Structure 1
């Protein structure tokens, strides 16, 4: 696969975010970077040096893989000028890269970060579930009590990943128990999302990725797993991938719920880009939920965005590799799996990303593979 900007180096760039930084995350990210470098006929450099005050002149031929989204100032220091220089995203403010932008703050609350656009929440409302974002304990309580009048809700810590840091609440008493587990400083810094809770949920992945001048888009489903502590967490994704962007994805003939989910993800992407035109992202991945709310209504909406290397990235890269091997191939299905409690669980022919005993997560195997 040829590079669109003569990439010589692929570098992982560590951000300040503590998310996805366990051993299994770091090892899997390094393997992802190696495979991306191979696609672009470039050299993988394990870690980028700390940024300097002036742009890096060598960055023009470097592809950066940040561990999270980075802001415009950091992108400038790294010499990133366009999305072809990054596998991930650049945001005008740190919070724009998190799920907190999906909803507005509760009426009357004014605790918001600098750069917050109050009109965005209303513009996104047709494409997401009912919910609020909050930046103080009092705001969490006020918004939650209001939503509980219509049924159960879900509180989500913004920095948590893989389905962790979430609390299903059905009563004021349960709300206080959940609030007691939240950190007030983290709420003020990152926010909390309060959202209607759904039962019988299917979580779709909808996305588009550009690498070395090639574009793919996909829809897929997520798998849940039980981690080594007994919690239900993200366990992998199966992606149905096509060549081309969102236009090709939207033109597929799919089931109504899925088609609606794809349309809402595309609209979410376009709306955020309109409100924050400085956003740059070569990887645009959206989690979309379809399920039943407390009133028995079917609800479909975008949960959050991911403009960074994530759990489904291995499947994306497997698709790029398949398309690079066969230029006539127009569609492929690839998957990632995360298996807790077992070592050496990757089947023959799969791409191993990690197999070991992580100091935090315990025994885990992570792999990707082309299915069909």
Structure 2
């Protein structure tokens, strides 16, 4: 890694998801992680660009969502030395809709849509379509139902929210009736093959200042206070470098394939949308079986912003800095509804959130 560090004296926790509770667990976690990032780059911390620190400082921004180019320009973000996250030319490029093509040449799409990307992604993604009208959603769903149940996902939702599995045309029509044309036109939705016995891999690379890592791992599920299965954290194996450096390590076949799919997906997206750049690139890859027992693997979506695995990413960078001779670390992020955390955990949220109740979020680096 390069040893020339950017000069930064203020790391800013930039809130752009203004519909979220500013005192909720997501906002509190965001602020806690930005404080850790500030320590990594030798910076002060600011909660907002209006804070005194940000007003008098050259800033390193950590937004809670991917920025559109106009937003980045207005903040003076000129490149990777200014941001932990990503920048896109159009808002839809930050959503899961880019993972699939349209149902046909006449299908509705937002301005700036790349008609070539869907085909270029090939088998790096599951069979599926992106849609921006209810009629296109019906057509796409019916096309896919011949191969088994399909999953419909609202493009602007995260963490498994806004999703529904349908197995018949009647179920599809009932679900379409719950969606508005205005929502679909603004955000879009994804319709894709549903898998059973599925495993979700996390593949990513991240750069904070001069510190650059790549990782592979798996997501965990846990049970919340409503008895629902929700995201419970990520277990990562982290190395210095980028995606290519992961392939130098011995990997199970499924993980090797997932990394290759991510490399292809990442390269094709950057080719289709040249205005995209990101210092945090996290990709979810699912592997599982369809109704007929056929195995599928594919990238579900990208995250070019601070996210659920970022606590483990930051912990790994801290561990690599502490041991310069170390080439690989294992780090995990956790979200638990028991209120407990083990000794040695770096806790970044502990409290009773107004939406989800008692919650603890922390990270750990595992002994080698």
Aligning the two structures, in what range does the TM-score lie when normalised by the shorter sequence?
A: over 0.9
Distance 2:321 2:111 in 1: 43
| 1:367 matched residue in structure 2 | 362
CA displacement 1:289-347 (0-9 Å, x = unmatched): 0100122111111000000000000000000100111111110000011112x22x111
| 1:38 matched residue in structure 2 | 39
| 1:98 matched residue in structure 2 | 95
CA displacement 1:90-127 (0-9 Å, x = unmatched): 00101101111000110144311111011111111221
Q: CA deviation at 1:227?
A: 2.1
Contact 1:164 1:233 in 2 (8 A): no
Partner secondary structure for residue 233 of structure 2: strand
Partner secondary structure for residue 176 of structure 1: helix
Distance 1:264 1:370 in 2: 27
Q: In 2 relative to 1, CA 183–232 (structure 1 residues): closer, same or farther, beyond 3 Å?
A: farther
Q: In 2 relative to 1, CA 109–22 (structure 1 residues): closer, same or farther, beyond 3 Å?
A: farther
Q: In 2 relative to 1, CA 239–98 (structure 1 residues): closer, same or farther, beyond 3 Å?
A: same
Unaligned regions of 5+ residues in structure 1, if any?
51-55
Partner secondary structure for residue 259 of structure 1: helix
Partner secondary structure for residue 98 of structure 2: helix
CA displacement 1:54-89 (0-9 Å, x = unmatched): xx9977x32101110011111110001112211100
Matched, 1:352 2:353: no
Distance 2:227 2:134 in 1: 28
Q: How many pairs does the alignment contain?
A: 364
Contact 1:17 1:68 in 2 (8 A): no
Distance 2:172 2:262 in 1: 30
Contact 1:241 1:319 in 2 (8 A): yes
Distance 1:179 1:19 in 2: 26
Aligned counterpart for 1:88 among listed residues 72, 85, 88: 85
Contact 1:355 1:364 in 2 (8 A): yes
Between stretches 203-212 and 9-18, larger displacement belongs to 9-18
| 2:327 matched residue in structure 1 | 330
Partner secondary structure for residue 179 of structure 2: coil
Matched, 1:281 2:278: yes
Alignment of 1:152-231 (within 5 A): 152-231=149-228
Contact 2:22 2:28 in 1 (8 A): no
CA displacement 1:227-269 (0-9 Å, x = unmatched): 2223222111000000111121122221111100000001111
